[in-house]
Amino acid sequence: MTACLFVAMFVVGGIRYDGFATGQVVLNVFVDNAFLLVVAVGMTFVILTGGIDLSVGSVVALSTMISAGLMAGPGWPPYVVIPLVLLVGSTLGLIMGYLIHAFEIQPFIATLAGMFLARGLCYTIGTESIPIDDPTFTAFAQTRIDLFADLWISPSVLVALVVVLVGAYVLHYTRLGRAVYATGGSEQSAVLMGLPVGRTKITVYTISGFCSALGGVLLSFYTLSGYGLHASGMELDAIAAVVIGGTLLTGGTGFLFGTVLGVLVLGLIQTILSFQGTLSSWWTKIFIGLLLFVFILLQRLFSTRTRR
Number of domains, the chain: 1
Judge whether 231 and 57 are in contact, CB under 8 Å. Answer: yes
High-pLDDT (> 90) share of the chain, %: 80
Question: Is position 289 within any domain?
Answer: no
Q: Is residue 269 one of the residues assigned to a domain?
A: no
Examine residue 292 and state whether it is found in any structural domain, yes or no. Answer: no
Residue 209 covered by a domain: yes
Sign of CA dihedral 278, 280, 285, 290: negative
Cross-strand pairs, 159: none
Average pLDDT over residues 285-305: 80
Strands 145-146 and 225-226: unpaired
Mean pLDDT, range 216-235, rounded to an integer: 95
Identity (one letter) of the amino acid at 25?
V
What domain range is 140 assigned to?
Answer: 35-258
Q: Looking at residue 171, what is its pLDDT?
A: 97
Average pLDDT, the chain: 93
Report the 10 Å Cβ neighbour count for 163: 23
What distance in Å separates the CA atoms of residue 250 and residue 74, rounded to the nearest whole number?
Answer: 45
Nearest by Cα to 230 from 53, 87, 68:
68
Does the structure show a pLDDT above 60 at 106? yes
**137 contact partners, CB below 8 Å, separation of at least 6:** 71, 78, 220, 221, 224
Question: Is 167 among the domain residues?
Answer: yes
Statement: residue 176 has pLDDT above 70: yes
CB atoms within 10 A of CB 50: 19
Q: Provide the pLDDT for residue 222.
A: 95
pLDDT-derived band at 283 (thresholds 50, 70, 90) equals: confident
**pLDDT (mean) for 50-78:** 95
Residue 307 pLDDT more than 60? no
> Global pTM?
0.95
Q: Is it the case that residue 224 has pLDDT exceeding 90?
A: yes
Domain membership flag for residue 250: yes
